[in-house]
A and B are shown apart, each in its own frame.
Chain A
């Protein structure tokens, strides 16, 4: 789950990481009230889980109440690269002397946490790597241990952080590594990590990803909604407990198992089609889950044909067939549905579908044949 900046900053504050205090607002009036409370100049920041908000006009400085109102009104509801702004964060403007970059991420390949620090803050990691690969200092954290303050200082020296703030920066990096473990974060990025004119080290931004599997032990984070699920179909799928990802095309897709489902999208694309979604019905899908899945897929108006690609292992083909038949009673299927059923209880499933003789239903024997057919019908 990706936290918004203000949620990340609240976590920072909880763990003693120096960060500007501010106020969260969802309406223009509340934002203006918050700005008056904070004082001017005040920064109005769009809260969306996507980078480069500043360039998109999502971060503005207000010098008085009138500007606070103008900016809040402009930013709320703004679309930033596909994300609608529903939340604002207001904080006092910082007096920036240096901009650094710090992060702690899960390095899957090395099976360790990786701490990174650069004196070149304000741009993204790829840009830093491109402009000067030596400017990013990387060091793995030993599993089960904290990032030693001594090691953090070495990193800071190596990154050519200004001498007078080496301790402060090192301390923050060590705090971030501890926070990653304590809060089950797989990514913490502070960009920029600033040094103020008064030489205070401050986390001016916060990008945090929390491991969704660990939410059960973070009740305080449960209220934060995942901003990546704003789309109506994605929200609907989430409610029904389905793994659904919205795409741009018109071929609705359901598969069982994440790998097979991804593979289904690929073969549909190879056949010249444009997938509308990823929907993993999961292992052991029961009829009810199939009804839910069809409901979500058909609620996307762009969908002109649907492909069900099922290879039954634990999933039983007869259960899937029952689900399709049940769904056709509950939902009016206005688009063709291509079904490929293979694997456990395939015979029973195929027979059920044949007996039901549903309009708009097309059976195919192979995955590739089914992909070609659905593209033809879409």
Chain B
């Protein structure tokens, strides 16, 4: 097993006919993901390298049995595309698009929750279950199949840690990029819950950054609900208050949300936190070997 995407994933890509959508959609297929359809309103009946394109996601679900949707639509139309996916009958929606207005996401977040559809992102690199399926833009060559689950707000930081794990001889069950926006469909807690229930995952690496209180909430959740070892890493110790650091969510306002507050919260609940991506990977491998 693994979580969110696996051998049963039947992928439909919203925006498959766009430049990025084509590139990454076909890359995901090349990796072994079953890419069953694309959706672009007005381009139904066409195909992208043999993948049939429909006007609507509903058609992709009924005609091709799609169960997972990836959204690669420009920001101003992306929330509507996610909403359409939620209504179409897929069980999982992975939104890569960056720059979706936060008020749009507020509505879409609750719509997904009410429909019982798992939403990952937006502004995330996607989900990779090594050896099984890749949905999104994560470069799969840095990850091997294995038993470490990774959940992260940041893309490149995850690649860095994944690569260090690989070099240390460890692999991953699933890598989940939850995205760095203020409102994302799935938080650390949602993904930690899935990893806790996944028999293939023995240890979880959680990569956070400044802003919000998702890491603090996760710390409390881990203490109560997660039996598997969790290793943390937090970026942004040197970030000045009031400044936004790239990710829309990465901003410190006032005293809460600092990297130190997050590290302290995690450590107070027994989570070991690495001071660098390298150290976090080293601790993860060490803990994994000790528990084996």
| A interface residues with partner B (beta carbon < 8 Å) | 106, 108-109, 111-113, 125-126, 143-144, 180-181, 184, 186, 211-214, 216-217, 228, 243, 245, 247, 255-263, 265-270, 275, 278, 280, 283, 311-315, 342-344, 366-368
- Stretch of B2-10, B32-40, B274-282 with 4 or more beta carbons under 8 angstroms from chain A: B274-282
Give bound CA distance, A344 to B140, whole Å. 11
Query: How many residues of B sit at the interface, in one of the four size bands?
Result: 35 or more
Q: Which of B78-102 contact A (CB under 8 A)?
A: 99-102
Contact A262 B210 (CB under 8 A): yes
Contact B182 A261 (CB under 8 A): no
Residues on A with beta carbons closer than 8 Å to the beta carbon of B156: 255-257, 259-260, 283, 311, 313, 315
Q: Which of A112, A126, A143, A259 is close to B247, meaning CB atoms less than 8 Å apart?
A: A259
Residues on B with beta carbons closer than 8 Å to the beta carbon of A112: 106
Contact B238 A344 (CB under 8 A): no
* Pairs A–B under 8 Å by Cβ, sample size 11: A108-B214, A126-B254, A180-B103, A257-B155, A257-B156, A258-B154, A258-B245, A262-B250, A313-B138, A314-B139, A368-B276
Give bound CA distance, A301 to B217, whole Å. 42
Q: Which of B107, B160, B211, B244 is close to A144, meaning CB atoms less than 8 Å apart?
A: B107
Q: Which of B90-130 contact A (CB under 8 A)?
A: 99-104, 106-107, 109-110, 125
Q: A109: shortest Cβ distance to chain B, in Å?
A: 5
Residues on B with beta carbons closer than 8 Å to the beta carbon of A266: 235-238, 259, 275-276
How many Cβ-Cβ contacts under 8 Å join chain A to chain B? 172
Q: A262: shortest Cβ distance to chain B, in Å?
A: 4
Leading 9 A-B pairs by shortest Cβ distance = A259-B154, A258-B246, A257-B156, A259-B157, A214-B101, A260-B156, A262-B235, A313-B139, A263-B235
Q: A317: shortest Cβ distance to chain B, in Å?
A: 12
List 17 additional A-B contacts (Cβ < 8 Å) besides A263-B277, A283-B155: A125-B254, A143-B109, A144-B107, A180-B103, A213-B100, A214-B104, A228-B243, A247-B238, A257-B155, A257-B157, A259-B154, A262-B236, A278-B243, A283-B137, A311-B159, A313-B139, A368-B278
Contact B182 A186 (CB under 8 A): yes
Give bound CA distance, A221 to B78, whole Å. 22
B209 in the interface (beta carbon within 8 A): yes
User: Which residue, of A180, A312, A314, A342, has the highest number of chain B Cβ atoms within 10 A?
Assistant: A314
Q: Which of B101, B141, B153, B160 is close to A213, meaning CB atoms less than 8 Å apart?
A: B101
Q: A311-B156, A314-B139, A344-B139 are in contact. Are A106 and B102 (CB under 8 A)?
A: yes
Q: Which of A109, A181, A211, A243 is close to B246, meaning CB atoms less than 8 Å apart?
A: A243
Q: Which of A108, A184, A343 is close to B163, meaning CB atoms less than 8 Å apart?
A: A343
Give bound CA distance, A130 to B209, whole Å. 27
User: Which residue, of B157, B158, B239, has the highest number of chain A Cβ atoms within 10 A?
Assistant: B157
B76 in the interface (beta carbon within 8 A): yes
Q: A86: shortest Cβ distance to chain B, in Å?
A: 19
Residues on A with beta carbons closer than 8 Å to the beta carbon of B152: 259
Residues on B with beta carbons closer than 8 Å to the beta carbon of A275: 238
Q: A283: shortest Cβ distance to chain B, in Å?
A: 7
Contact B209 A259 (CB under 8 A): yes
Contact B159 A313 (CB under 8 A): yes
User: Which residue, of A258, A269, A270, has the highest number of chain B Cβ atoms within 10 A?
Assistant: A258
Residues on B with beta carbons closer than 8 Å to the beta carbon of A313: 125, 137-139, 142, 155-156, 159
Contact A263 B276 (CB under 8 A): yes
Contact B180 A258 (CB under 8 A): yes
Residues on A with beta carbons closer than 8 Å to the beta carbon of B250: 258, 262
Q: A106-B102, A108-B183, A108-B212 are in contact. Are A262 and B249 (CB under 8 A)?
A: no
B291 in the interface (beta carbon within 8 A): no
User: Do most interface residues of chain A lie in helix, strand or loop, or is the interface mixed?
Assistant: mixed
Residues on A with beta carbons closer than 8 Å to the beta carbon of B287: none
Give bound CA distance, A243 to B277, whole Å. 22
Give bound CA distance, A213 to B163, whole Å. 32
Residues on B with beta carbons closer than 8 Å to the beta carbon of A126: 254-255
Chain B residue nearest in CB terms to A126: B254
Contact A261 B159 (CB under 8 A): no
Contact B249 A213 (CB under 8 A): no
Chain B residue nearest in CB terms to A248: B240
Q: Mark B139-171, 1 if CB is under 8 A from A, else 0.
A: 101100000000011111111100100000000
Q: Mark B26-57, 1 if CB is under 8 A from A, else 0.
A: 00000000000000000000000000000000
Residues on B with beta carbons closer than 8 Å to the beta carbon of A312: 139
Chain B residue nearest in CB terms to A212: B248
Give bound CA distance, A328 to B147, whole Å. 44
Residues on A with beta carbons closer than 8 Å to the beta carbon of B76: 216-217
Residues on B with beta carbons closer than 8 Å to the beta carbon of A267: 276
